[in-house]
Amino acid sequence: MTKNILNNSFNTKYNTAPFSKIKDEHYLPAFKKAIKDAKTEIDNIVNNNEAATFKNTIEALDFSGEQLDRISSIFFNLNSAETNKTIQKIAQEVSPLLAEFSNDITLNEELFKRVKTVYDAKNTLNLTTEQETLLDKKYKSFSRNGANLPEDKKQKLREIDKKLSQLKLKFGENVLAETNKFEMLINDEADLAGLPDGAKEAAKQLAESKDKEGWLFTLDYPSYIPFMTYADNRELRKKLSLAAGSKSFKGDKLDNQNNVLDIVKLRHERATLLGYKTHAHFVLEERMAETPEKVQSFLNELLEKAKPAAEREFKNLENFAKDLDKIDHLEKWDGAYYSEKLKQKLFDLDDEKLKPYFKLENVINGVFKVAKKLFDLNFEEINTIDKYHEDVLTYKVTDSKGDLVSIFYADFFPRPGKRNGAWMTSYKPQYIKDEKNSRPHISIVCNFTKPTKTKPSLLTFNEVTTLFHEFGHALHGMLANTTYPSLSGTSVYWDFVELPSQVLENWCYEKEALELFATHYETGEVIPMDLVNKIKESSTFHEGMQTLRQLSFGLLDMSWHAGDSPYTIKSVKAHEEKAFEGTKLYPDVAENCMSTSFSHIFQGGYSSGYYSYKWAEVLDADAFEYFKEKGVFNKTVANKFKENVLSKGGTEKPMILYKRFRGHEPNSEALLKRAGLIKK
């Protein structure tokens, strides 16, 4: 048998993943061997004849399974960004093995005894703050995951975790298959009325790439969003909207209704087995928000402030559509279209005017310049690093002394093997071992408009903020400076993790930042000040409706995970309608269902956590107010943010870190003012 590259340390520069040498058939045997090796490491901790200490138990546990973690990060990152049928099949096979291995650790009585011995003696051990946090985290990873259960319940927990790991994968596979399956081919150019030239050219190119005549539109965002925003043909907007809104809700083999109900029931069963009232109670114990009641009251308080504004905005939009096109009832497929028309009328601003100033390469350089001015980081594109796809860009990140900070991967365009949306991830965490600071490998993945034959990739302003958002997460990963891998980078409470990403979006609206990169791709002209002012003026346009939309997703998430008994839910659609009652603006569409493609909460890690986007907005508005007071590129404030937030990972409780940076707890007034929901 040929040598399996995944079972050896990678003999590559910077220890990066050797993507081109990894074959699909390597994964399963590599996982099995790495699990076996990791089990041996655990056995060595358990069978150590010496008394349990922080070093030989807690620290040893955190550094165990390093090869397994690397294989997992490579495999599951590719399953999101560059998947295929073989990888999906392996994922279904591997996920239960990993769930079982995780249970083997947390349900190992002898191991838990050693952890508990150290935990019980913690006040006598003279630990650093980071060590105390790690000890607390390790102890809770056992106590919160069944270590104190009797044997029969431990077995039940194993069964639940195995089923959940498979159901979540299946959910994601169905959504991806539905996204890839739908195509809308247009043969009559008259049906493209209203669409910008760039969108038409991209659709033509997509059709050609599939040997088709005409213009092809899909559910990938760079294709979907321009059509819904600009296409005059209402019937075709409806067709596309229904396709997007009915993903995995058609009663066929890609339907996710039963998967949703099964996931929710199993999560509830798991939580009650562990002694918690609901899945939300279990999750939120380890969040800044702490309880479902606190989350509900946070969401409802914002809803109270946002709803009157949202209803006013919606009424104005309805009247505008009626005056313009005699539309009696505004439907979901009308929202983006008439919002864009109204925005153009009010601010004389539309994305087509802005896009020439946001060539992708310029925006990438812009975000790098912002990072340099704030945090003294340098980015050098290098082509000596292996990639998993030719579209991926690779960079070496260094500090002002020229020392390596991180390796950075950036993957910007849609393709069939890549799920929709945008995310940041890591191929290798940062940690300090044997006095060596091992630096992280960080990646961001987006779905932006591809270059065409005549135009480079020109971003909408929304895509610009998305790039800054994901790059904010990336900075959190790159600037990590902790001892232990499980506390490094973005390994923080879920409702704190969005602070670095959301705070960085603010620079997209600042003149000093825009002037660094927003230059016309043909003339080199810097973005005119009147456009900068219009961007700022329009930044609160329909903020009430946007806030209501985000709150509706948070409330839907809580309705699935904080209710006493999910067993009584028979219809996914009926349950969802009830959850949306207080936030509804548009008439319901019978064919639509949000939950069946709500990957954030049913596949990703946001279950009982979708509220965290709004929670972090409170933090980011308050944090950015500090920058505004002192200057958006103020080095003192930037250093405080770097030292107390970006480099600290999960080494201390988030509120302690935030207060150390800001000097006080966050105040929601900054967010409400910025959103225009209360007077400044």
Indicate which residues carry an active-site annotation.
470
User: What sign for the dihedral angle of Cα 579, 576, 466, 308?
Assistant: negative
* Residue 232, both tokens: 């005059």
Q: Which residues, 6+ apart, have CB-to-CB distance to 507 below 8 Å? A: 370, 468, 513, 632
Three-state SS string over 604-646 comes to: CCCCCCCCHHHHHHHHHHHHHHHHHHHCCCCHHHHHHHHHHHH
53 three-class SS: coil
* Residue 323, both tokens: 């005056």
Cα separation, 661 vs 643, in Å, equals 8
**Within the chain, how many helices (H) and strands (E) appear?**
27, 9
Whose tokens are 């988030």? That residue is 654
Q: At what angle do helices 292-325 and 332-347 cross, to 10 degrees?
A: 70
Phi, psi of 441 (to 5 degrees): -115, 115
First to last CA, the chain: 69
* Residue 65, both tokens: 């399974």
Indicate the burial class of 551 (C-beta count within 10 angstroms; 0-12, 13-18, 19 or more).
Answer: buried
Q: Which residues, 6+ apart, have CB-to-CB distance to 74 below 8 Å? A: 6, 17, 19, 22, 427
The 8-class DSSP code of residue 587 comes to: P
Single-letter amino acid, residue 361? E
* Residue 324, both tokens: 């313009």
Three-state SS string over 159-207 comes to: HHHHHHHHHHHHHHHHHHHHHHHCCEEECCHHHHCCCCHHHHHHHHHHH
The residue among 81, 66, 73, 75 whose CA lies nearest residue 93 is 75
